[in-house]
């Protein structure tokens, strides 16, 4: 059997191991937050924002940020139907309702026109999720937010390295949230980051993140309200610091892999890949191929072909409205039909050209079986 091709795994070097070992040996007592604070500073500098709070997950960052905005029972939050449930679950946990709208057929991100049409008096936020490194139309979304007085939240879990006309993904909305899961371009194993340029919102989230204890509270063990426990550990942050020192290398390699896929697959009929419109940079977290409907290629056929090649291939996100816990939204036609003819491609940092060629050969066999006029 051919060697396994994994769809993703982290890039860990001696630097990460050295920092993690130091945190394990020395990161206690008055040094228990040293790597956390350093990680936050490095991340702020990279992103060009004023405030950052390291968290245990992107979901936790979203939960605290939404809570700080006052999202509560009876409220509505608009988001794209094509997403992982992690974006919707904090909305539900706060007692609010996620309102699922359709995606654009090219970027697979939220359709701004559909988002605007879904606004009601109960709308408290719009979430812009930069899917697979692709960018939402932030100019249009921010204009909608300003027009209606609605905050735009950026879920940039998959978009470190992506840039919208000179501004990094996650830095443009009321707040942004990032993921450092083991599958991501930058990893701490598990972990996330809340970022913002809003001083008042930052202070609110900072209090919530520390069990509701305000940082100017002088009484020991005296919470001012019921808060959350979504802290990142010093050990995780140590790995994050090493990854931040390598961030341009990590992003550059992901972009290089996407470029190789594009070069290998260009000219094939009936497929599209992650877009990179003029003036933008795609962080290339997850190279993805979408087959045209007329090709007749299905997700199941693709999964079978990749399994035969002993290669991992990840399915495109199911529409959230198709899940049992949510109401069906049949008018979200792109969110409903794109996943049925799409696949995520292996793209870990150390992937070899020979492995990329094996992946591309699978896709080329499908392409040779049809022709789109």
Q: How many residues does the chain have?
A: 373
| Average pLDDT rounded to a whole number, residues 67-71 | 98
Q: What is the pLDDT of residue 269?
A: 86
Pairing of strands 97-101, 123-129: unpaired
CB 211 within 8 A of CB 227: yes
**What's the alpha-carbon Rg for the chain, to the nearest Å?**
21
Instruction: Using DSSP, state whether 128 is helix, strand or coil.
Output: strand
**How far is it, in rounded angstroms, from Cα 294 to Cα 370?**
9
Between residues 366 and 225, which one has the greater pLDDT?
225
In the predicted structure, residue 370 carries a pLDDT above the cut 80: no
Across the range 257-271, mean pLDDT stands at 94
- Tell me the β-bridge partners of 344: 288, 314
**How far, CA to CA in Å, does 151 sit from each of 117, 148, 159, 177, 354?**
16, 9, 20, 14, 46
Q: Where are the alpha helices (DSSP H) in 167-218?
A: 199-209
Q: In what order do the strands lie in the sheet with 167-168?
A: 167-168, 163-164, 280-281
Please check whether residue 128 is in contact with residue 143, taking contact to mean a CB–CB distance below 8 angstroms. Answer: no
Q: Give the span between the Cα atoms of 260 and 276, in whole angstroms.
A: 15
**Could you tell me if 101 and 107 are in contact, meaning their C-beta atoms sit under 8 angstroms apart?**
no
Domains defined along the chain, listed by start: 14-245 (3.40.640.10), 247-367 (3.90.1150.10)
Q: Across the chain, where does the E strand assignment appear?
A: 51-55, 76-80, 97-101, 123-129, 152-155, 163-164, 167-168, 175-179, 192-196, 271-273, 280-281, 288-291, 314-315, 342-344
3-state secondary structure 267-283: CCCCEEECCCCCCEECC
Q: Characterize the bridge pairing of strands 342-344 and 314-315.
A: antiparallel
Number of H helices, E strands in the chain: 12, 14
pTM: 0.96
Whether the pLDDT of residue 367 is over 80: the answer is: no
Neighbour count for residue 30 (Cβ, 10 Å): 6
pLDDT single digits (tens) 309-363 = 999 999 999 999 999 999 999 999 999 999 999 999 999 999 999 999 999 999 9
pLDDT on residue 371: 55
- The pLDDT of residue 310 is 96
Q: Please, what's the b/e burial string for 48-68 (b: 16 or more CB within 10 A of its CB; e: otherwise)?
A: ebebbbbbbbbbbbbbbbbbb
Q: How do residues 274-311 score in pLDDT, each as one tens digit?
A: 999 999 999 999 999 999 999 999 999 999 999 999 99
The DSSP symbol for 87 reads G
């Amino acid at each position: 059997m051919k060697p396994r091709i994994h769809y993703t795994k982290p890039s860990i070097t001696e630097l990460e191991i050295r920092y993690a070992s130091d945190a394990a040996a020395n990161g206690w007592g008055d040094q228990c937050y040293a790597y956390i604070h350093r990680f936050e500073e490095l991340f702020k500098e990279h992103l060009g924002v004023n405030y950052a709070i390291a968290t245990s997950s992107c979901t936790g960052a979203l939960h605290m940020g939404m809570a700080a905005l006052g999202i509560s029972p009876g409220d509505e939050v608009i988001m794209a139907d094509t997403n992982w449930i992690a974006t919707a679950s904090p909305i539900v946990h706060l007692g609010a309702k996620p309102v699922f709208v359709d995606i654009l057929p090219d970027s697979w991100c939220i359709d701004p026109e559909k988002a605007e049409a879904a606004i009601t008096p109960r709308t408290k936020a719009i979430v812009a999720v930069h899917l697979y490194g692709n960018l939402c139309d932030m100019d249009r979304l921010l204009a909608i937010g300003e027009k209606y007085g609605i905050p735009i939240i950026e879920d940039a879990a998959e978009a470190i390295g992506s840039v919208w006309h000179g501004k990094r993904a996650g830095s443009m909305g009321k707040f942004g949230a990032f993921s450092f899961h083991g599958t991501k371009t930058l990893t701490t194993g598990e972990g996330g980051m809340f970022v913002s340029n809003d001083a008042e919102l930052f202070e609110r989230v900072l209090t919530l993140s520390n069990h509701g204890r305000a940082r100017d509270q002088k009484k020991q063990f005296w919470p001012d309200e019921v808060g959350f426990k979504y802290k990142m550990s010093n050990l995780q942050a140590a790995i994050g610091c090493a990854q931040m020192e390598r961030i341009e290398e990590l992003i550059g390699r992901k972009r290089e892999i996407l470029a190789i896929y594009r070069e290998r697959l260009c000219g094939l009929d009936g497929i599209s890949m992650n877009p990179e419109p003029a003036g933008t940079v795609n962080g290339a977290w997850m190279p993805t191929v979408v087959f045209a409907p007329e090709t007749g290629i299905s997700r199941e056929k693709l999964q079978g072909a990749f399994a035969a090649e002993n290669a991992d291939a990840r399915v495109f996100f199911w529409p959230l409205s198709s899940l049992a816990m949510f109401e069906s939204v049949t008018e979200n036609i792109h969110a409903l039909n794109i996943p049925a003819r799409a696949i995520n491609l292996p793209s870990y940092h150390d992937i070899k050209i020979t492995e990329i060629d094996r992946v591309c050969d699978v896709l080329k066999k499908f392409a040779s079986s049809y022709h789109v006029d």
